[in-house]
Amino acid sequence: MRRRIPEVGALCQSVRRPAVMIGLGLALAAPAGGWMVVNGSGSGAAAPAERSADADPASRTEAGASAAASAAADTRADRDAADAPADPAVASAWREKALERERKEVAKRFAKEFGISESLATAIHEAAIEADIEPRIAFGLVRTESSFRRTAVSSAGAVGYTQLLPSTARWMEPGTTRSQLFDTRTNLRIGFKYLRYLLDKYDGNVRLALTAYNRGPGTVDRLLKRGRNPENGYATKVLSRRG
């Protein structure tokens, strides 16, 4: 048509050039990720940023994951800020509840590991924290002493979970009776209190403290004074992850 009627061809050419220029101008002004105006042939094309992502699927995935992580972090931060109480007293109680939930989760893991009830694991864990005893040492001691049996009594007369002699219990807490040592919390509290005393006595030496728990501090002190090693394998058994 343009070959036969030059005027029509010239008119089409004059209209097409401004349209292309307008399209290019809009494409440059559009934000990343927007649409480019169609080219002269009428087909659609992605913006440069989208073409780059399409050409590299890994980059697209990483960018999406980064955006999702950023959004999640912002959401958590907003939630934490909204949840945190402004009043100091309320904030303290709020933190205590969070610690309590965490301790319960720890007790559950110990219950599963040692094959005991959650209630007993919670009692051991709480008593250990109260006495400033590392929980795993506390669990190892109870396992070694009584195999987690509340009513265990040795031939020497040691009683309960931590196998306390009534005389030792009365020394730690005057007035304690033998029958009271069959109470779970009483036995654990006094037993771990005694271990805490031994840890302090031996300057935090866990192995010496545990050996003294088993053999008695008098025996350990005499052997140390003679330059001998008082260990008898008891500490190793308590600290072992296996019964």
What is the C-alpha separation between 97 and 131, in angstroms, rounded?
A: 20
pLDDT grade for 99, boundaries at 50, 70 and 90: confident
DSSP structural state of residue 30: S
pLDDT of residue 103: 80
Work out the average pLDDT over 170-175.
Answer: 97
Q: Has 173 been annotated as catalytic?
A: no
pLDDT digits (tens, 9 = 90+) for 175-217: 999 999 999 999 999 999 999 999 999 999 999 999 999 999 9
Burial (CB < 10 A; 0-12, 13-18, 19+), residue 169, is buried
> H helices then E strands: how many in the chain?
11, 0
Residue 71 confidence (pLDDT): 52
Q: Using one digit for the tens of pLDDT, what is the confidence trace for 108-162?
A: 999 999 999 999 999 999 999 999 999 999 999 999 999 999 999 999 999 999 9
Domain boundaries, the chain: 86-239
* Catalytically annotated residue among 118, 126, 134, 145: 145
- The model's pTM is 0.62
Structural contact between residues 106 and 135, judged by C-beta atoms closer than 8 angstroms:
yes
What pLDDT does residue 48 have? 37
Region 61-72: mean pLDDT is 47
Reported confidence tier of residue 101, pLDDT bands at 50, 70, 90: confident
- What DSSP character marks residue 240? S
Classified as helix, coil or strand, 153 is strand
Cβ 188 vs Cβ 165: under 8 Å? no
124 within 8 A of 191, measured Cβ to Cβ:
no
- Identify residue 142 by its one-letter amino acid code: V
CATH code given to domain 86-239: 1.10.530.10
Retrieve residue 243's tokens: 């019964």
Would you state the pLDDT for residue 85? Answer: 64
pLDDT value of residue 136: 95
pLDDT tens digits, one per residue of 10-60? 444 554 544 444 444 444 444 444 433 333 434 333 333 333 334 444 444
